[in-house]
Amino acid sequence: MHKTLDSAQFRKVMARFVTGVTIVTSRAGEEVHGMTCNAFCSISIAPLTVMVCLTRNSRTERLIGKGRVFAVNVLSESQTDLSDRFAGRHKERDENRFDGFPWTTAVTGAPIFKGSQAYVDCKLMKTFDGGSHIIHLGEVVAAHTDNLKRPLIFYQSRYMGLASLKPLE
Residue 3 vs 124, nearer CB to ligand FMN: 124
Nearer to ligand FMN, 39 or 43 (CB): 39
Asked if residue 153 lies in contact with residue 159, where contact means CB atoms within 8 angstroms, the answer is yes
**Minimum distance, C-beta of residue 52 to ligand FMN, in the bound complex (Å):** 7
CB 84, CB 93: distance < 8 Å: no
DSSP state of 147: T
The least distance separating ligand FMN from the CB of residue 152, rounded to whole angstroms, comes to 9
Q: Which is nearer to ligand FMN, 11 or 167 (CB)?
A: 11
Kindly list the residues in this chain that would bind ligand FMN in the complex (CB under 6 A): 21, 35-39, 53-55, 58-60, 83, 86-88, 133, 154
Question: Is the CB of 86 or the CB of 103 nearer to ligand FMN?
Answer: 86
Closest approach of ligand FMN to the CB of residue 1, in Å: 32
Cβ partners under 8 Å of residue 20, min gap 6: 38, 40, 74, 75, 151, 152, 153, 154
Measured distance CA(30)–CA(11) in Å, rounded:
36
How far are the Cα atoms of 12, 54, 55, 128, 135 from residue 131, in angstroms, in the given order? 19, 10, 9, 9, 9
In the complex, what is the shortest distance from the CB of residue 133 to ligand FMN, in angstroms, rounded to a whole number? 6
